[in-house]
Amino acid sequence: MNVFQKILILLLSVLLTATFAKEHPTIAINKSEARAIREALGKYPLLDKSYAAYETFVNAALQRVIEVPPPGEAGGYAHEKHKQNYREMHQAGILFAINGEEIYAAFIKAMLDEYAKMYPTLGPHPRSFKQKPGRLFHQTLNEAVWLVHVSIAYDCIYNWLNAEDRQRYEESIFRPMIHLFSVEHAEMFNLIHNHGTWSTAAVGMMAYVLDEPELVERALYGTNLDGKGGFLKQMEQLFSPDGFYMEGPYYIRYALRPFFLFADAIERNEPERKIYQYRDEILRKAYYSVAQTIFPDGIFPPINDASKTMDIADIGPMIANNLTYQRYGKNENLLAIARLQDRVMLNQAGLTIANDFGDGSTVAELNWGSVEFSDGYDGERGGLGILRTGSGKSQTMLLMKYGVHGKGHGHFDKLQFIFYDQYHEVIPDYGFARWINMEPKHGGRYTRENNSFAKQTVAHNVVVVDETSQNNANRKKGDAHWAERHFFDGNGSDIQVMSARANQQYEGVAMQRTMFLIRDEKLEHPAVIDLYRLQSDSEHQYDYPIYYNGQFVVSNVAFDVAGNSLRPMGEKAGYEHLWKTAAGKSDSTIIFTWVDGGRYYSLISAGTAGTEMLLGRIGANDPDFNLRSGPMMMLRLRAADHLFASVIEPHGFFSEAREMSRDARSVITSVEVIGHDDEGSVVDIRGKRGLHWRIMVNNGAPTSGEKTVSFEGKTYRWQGNYAIEKLN
C-alpha cells in the first residue's frame, strides 16, 4: 500500500464514520456471525455446550429479582453480586445478539436502570487497601473488568434501546467510568502493567460502542496521546520478543482477556490498524507462550506468586485460544487445549474452533514438545526452559526458570526447577502463600508468609548460599539482576538438556545449573540429571533443598531423627519456617527414596566429605497456620567451589488399593563427580543392570566445537555443549 492509497483509505473511513451511524453489535460479535451461530447450533458439541451454558446461566438470572447493592468489601456479597451482574449482562447481550429474544435485552436494560440510579451517587469506594479505589469495587481493576463486559452487553442492545435511555446510561455510568479510569486514575491507565490493560481495554471497547475515535486514541496511546502509555505500549513492554510475560503465566492469563477482547474490537472496527500484526504478531506469541508453558493437565506452572490450580480452561486463555486459532491460523495443540477448555466463545472465533474440533475424536493428545522462551522486553534477560518427553497424561516435564525477577510478584529463585510426572508436580514449587479470596485468611490477600517464606530462595529447589536469599530478597536488586541463558537443546530425543547461569544473585558466587531429561532403556521412566555448580573465591555454606510430595520411604543415610522435639532450621530467609525433622551425614552417594502417586522416586546425589543431609517440614513460625505442611530435604556443605550432582529417578510401582509394590529401590546407585572447572564438568553415574553413564558438560561459552578437560591426569573429550557416554 502506497502513501496515496493510505490517505485515500483514511479519507474514506472518516467520511464513512461521519455519514453512517455505526452498525451494532460491533466489538465482539456482528450480525452475520450471530446468524452463522444460529444456523450452526446442533452441529458442534463445543458450541452447543457453550450456548447451553449461557442460556442456563442467564435464564436462572431472569428468575431472580435484579439486585444492584451498595458497594461492599472485597470478596463480600456486594462485590460478588456486581461481578455476577456484569457476567449476566454480558451473556444476556450475546444471547440477544444471536437469538433476538427481547427478554434478554430487557434484562440488561432493567439492570442498567438500577446502575444508572446508583452510580452517580457513589464516591470513591471506602474499603480500598493500597489500591486505586473504584466506585462499585474497592479497586479500579474490578470496575474496568465490569466495563469491558458491560460494553459488550451494551453494544448488543444498542440499537434496541431508545436514544434517551442510551444517553442516560452513558451520562450516568459509562462516561463517569471512562473519566474515572482515564482522568482520575490516569497514572494507572498509563501504567505498563496488566491492571493498565484492563483500563485501556474498557475505555477502548466502550469507545467503539460510543463511536468516539478520540477515546480509542486515548486507549491506544495513553492519556497524553504520546504512546508512552496505553494499550500499544503495553503490547511492547509487557512481553519478551518471544511473547513471554515477565510475571509468569498465572498473571498473564488474567490479562489475556483484555488484550484479546480489545484487540478483536480494534480488528473488527479498524482493521487497518493491523493490531494482530503489531510487534511481529506479539499477541500470537503472547498466547502461545502461555499455552506452551502449561503442564499436560492444563495447569499453569506456579512461577513467582501463583496459584497451584489456575489453568488454561480459565476464561482469558479460552478467549485467547479461540481468537489465536481464528486470527493466526489453525494448530492441532490449540484444538487439544479446546478439549481442556470444553467451551468456546459465541462468535466466529468460537464457531471456527468448535467446527474444527468436532466431537474431539480425531484431536490428538496435547504435546507441545520442548520449548525455550527468552525473557525481558528485549529478550536479552535470561529465559524459561521446558523439556518434555511423552504426551498427554504420560508426559514428563522439566521446567527451569532463569529469567527476570518479575517485579512485585517475583520470587528470589533464579535457577528454580519443577519436575512434573504422572499428571502432577513431583518436585513442586510452593506457589504463593495466599488463600485467595478467603475472607478469614487475611481477607484473601497475600499472607505475611508470602514474603517471609514463599518468595525466599530456600522455599525453592535452588541452592541457598549462607542461609541468605538471592539478592538479599531485595526486590529492586532482584529486578536489576536477571539470570542468563547458557544452552538449550530440546530436540525431543532421548537426551535433552538446558543450562543457565545466575552470577549476580550472590556476591562473589557464580552459579550454573545444567539439567538433563533423559530416557534410557535401563530405566522404566525418564529421569532427571541435575548438575548445580557453585564457584567462589571464599568458602560458603551451600544448601541444596529439594521439595517433594508424598511419603519418605528409605534412605542410605543414617538419620538422627528429631522425634521428641522440633526446632526450625534457622532464623531468617525462610529457614525459620522449616521444621528440622532429621539430620545425617554422608561422604558417598546419598540415596533418598519417597513414594508419591503410585510411583517411587529417588534422589541419588554425589556426597563428599562433610556433606550433611537435613530433612524438613514446612510450618514453623506460622502463627495463623497460613502455610501448607509439606516435606523437604536439603543437602548442605561448606565449600568454595562445589558441584551438586544428582539424579532424580522415578521407578517401580505402589498401589495400596491393589496391595502391590515393586522396584521400590532405584536402578541408579552411584553418582560420582570426576571433576569440574570453568571449562567443563564430568560426572559418572552407575547403577544396576550394568548402567554406567559419563556426563560431560560445557561450563564455558556455548560451543559446537570440541571440548577437552583434564582431571587428575585424565583427559575427557566431547563435541559441543554436552555429551552422555554410555559406557555399558
Would you give the binding string for its own copies spanning residues 270-309, x where CB under 8 A is met?
A: -------------------------------------xxx
Residue 438 interacting with its own copies (CB under 8 A): yes
Contacts of 405 (CB under 8 A, 6+ apart): 412, 471, 475, 478, 479, 481, 482
Nearer to its own copies among residue 629 and residue 704 (C-beta): 629
Which H or E element spans position 542? strand 540-547
DSSP 670: E
| Edge-to-edge strands, sheet with 509-518 | 484-489, 495-506, 509-518, 527-536, 642-651, 599-605, 590-596, 551-555
Nearest C-alpha neighbor of 465 from the set 452, 453, 456: 456
| Residue 624 burial (C-beta neighbours within 10 Å; 0-12, 13-18, 19+) | exposed
Contacts of 6 (CB under 8 A, 6+ apart): none
Q: Which stretch binds its own copies (CB under 8 A): 151-159, 336-344, 435-443, 493-501?
A: 435-443
Q: Which stretch binds its own copies (CB under 8 A): 163-171, 215-223, 339-347, 658-666?
A: 658-666
CB of 458 to its own copies, least distance (A): 17
Q: Computed from CA positions of residues 132, 133, 139, 145, in that sequence, does the dihedral angle turn out positive or negative? A: negative
Q: By the 8 A CB rule, do 344 and 46 touch?
A: yes
Residue 623 interacting with its own copies (CB under 8 A): yes
Q: Which stretch binds its own copies (CB under 8 A): 408-416, 438-446, 453-461, 669-677?
A: 438-446
Residue 423 interacting with its own copies (CB under 8 A): no
CB of 621 to its own copies, least distance (A): 4
Q: Using the rule CB under 8 A, which residue among 436, 492, 727, 728 binds its own copies?
A: 436
Nearer to its own copies among residue 75 and residue 376 (C-beta): 75
Residue 628 interacting with its own copies (CB under 8 A): yes
Q: How many residues bind its own copies (CB under 8 A)?
A: 55
Nearer to its own copies among residue 42 and residue 440 (C-beta): 440
d(CA 646, CA 718): 21
Here the cell at position 267 is: 480488528
Residue 567 interacting with its own copies (CB under 8 A): yes
Give the phi and the psi of residue 355 in degrees, each rounded to 5: -60, -50
CB of 628 to its own copies, least distance (A): 7
Residue 64 interacting with its own copies (CB under 8 A): no
CB of 118 to its own copies, least distance (A): 23
Which H or E element spans position 353? helix 348-357
Q: Which stretch binds its own copies (CB under 8 A): 105-113, 163-171, 487-495, 621-629?
A: 621-629
CB of 85 to its own copies, least distance (A): 16
Q: Using the rule CB under 8 A, which residue among 32, 625, 701, 712 binds its own copies?
A: 625
Residue 554 interacting with its own copies (CB under 8 A): yes
Give catalytic residues, as residue numbers.
251, 409
Here the cell at position 645 is: 550432582
Q: Which stretch binds its own copies (CB under 8 A): 343-351, 364-372, 387-395, 434-442?
A: 434-442
Would you give the binding string for its own copies spanning residues 443-482, x where CB under 8 A is met?
A: -x--------------------------------------
Residue 631 interacting with its own copies (CB under 8 A): yes
Would you give the binding string for its own copies spanning residues 147-166, x where CB under 8 A is met?
A: --------------------
Q: Computed from CA positions of residues 27, 30, 34, 37, in that sequence, does the dihedral angle turn out positive or negative? A: negative
Amino acid at 523: L
Nearer to its own copies among residue 377 and residue 423 (C-beta): 423
d(CA 603, CA 612): 15
CB of 115 to its own copies, least distance (A): 23
Residue 579 interacting with its own copies (CB under 8 A): yes
Range 590-609, binding its own copies (CB under 8 A): 593, 595
d(CA 655, CA 665): 16
Nearer to its own copies among residue 102 and residue 439 (C-beta): 439
Secondary structure of 417-445 in HEC code, one letter for each residue = EEEEECCEEEECCCCCCECCCCCCCHHHC
Helix (H, G, I), strand (E, B) or coil at 601: strand
DSSP 273: G
CB of 337 to its own copies, least distance (A): 16
Q: What is the number of other CB atoms lying within 10 angstroms of the CB of residue 639?
A: 16
Q: Using the rule CB under 8 A, which residue among 483, 620, 671, 691 binds its own copies?
A: 620
Nearest C-alpha neighbor of 696 from the set 714, 678, 717, 668: 717
Residue 441 interacting with its own copies (CB under 8 A): yes
Residue 57 interacting with its own copies (CB under 8 A): no
Residue 322 interacting with its own copies (CB under 8 A): no
Residue 372 half-sphere exposure toward CB, CA atoms < 13 A: 23
Q: Which stretch binds its own copies (CB under 8 A): 102-110, 334-342, 478-486, 558-566?
A: 558-566
Nearer to its own copies among residue 265 and residue 306 (C-beta): 306
Which H or E element spans position 669? strand 668-676
Nearer to its own copies among residue 398 and residue 633 (C-beta): 633
Residue 81 interacting with its own copies (CB under 8 A): no
Q: By the 8 A CB rule, do 350 and 54 touch?
A: no
CB of 135 to its own copies, least distance (A): 22
Q: Which stretch binds its own copies (CB under 8 A): 97-105, 265-273, 437-445, 449-457?
A: 437-445
Residue 563 interacting with its own copies (CB under 8 A): yes
Residue 568 interacting with its own copies (CB under 8 A): yes
Amino acid at 677: D
Q: Which stretch binds its own copies (CB under 8 A): 57-65, 171-179, 258-266, 546-554?
A: 546-554
Q: Which residues of 526-565 are buried (b: 16+ CB within 10 A; e: fewer)?
A: bbbbbbbbbbbeeebebbbbbbbbbebbebebeeeeeeee
d(CA 7, CA 185): 35
CB of 210 to its own copies, least distance (A): 31
Nearer to its own copies among residue 302 and residue 490 (C-beta): 302
d(CA 583, CA 616): 9
d(CA 509, CA 649): 29
Q: Using the rule CB under 8 A, which residue among 661, 669, 670, 710 binds its own copies?
A: 661
d(CA 208, CA 17): 11
Nearer to its own copies among residue 60 and residue 438 (C-beta): 438
What is the gyration radius of the CA atoms in the chain, in angstroms?
28
Here the cell at position 120 is: 452517580
Q: What is the number of other CB atoms lying within 10 angstroms of the CB of residue 15?
A: 10
CB of 590 to its own copies, least distance (A): 15
The residues of the shown chain that bind its own copies, judged by CB under 8 A, are 75, 80, 307-311, 314, 435-441, 444, 551-554, 559, 561, 563-568, 576, 579, 581-582, 593, 595, 615, 617, 619-623, 625, 628-629, 631, 654-657, 659-662, 664-665
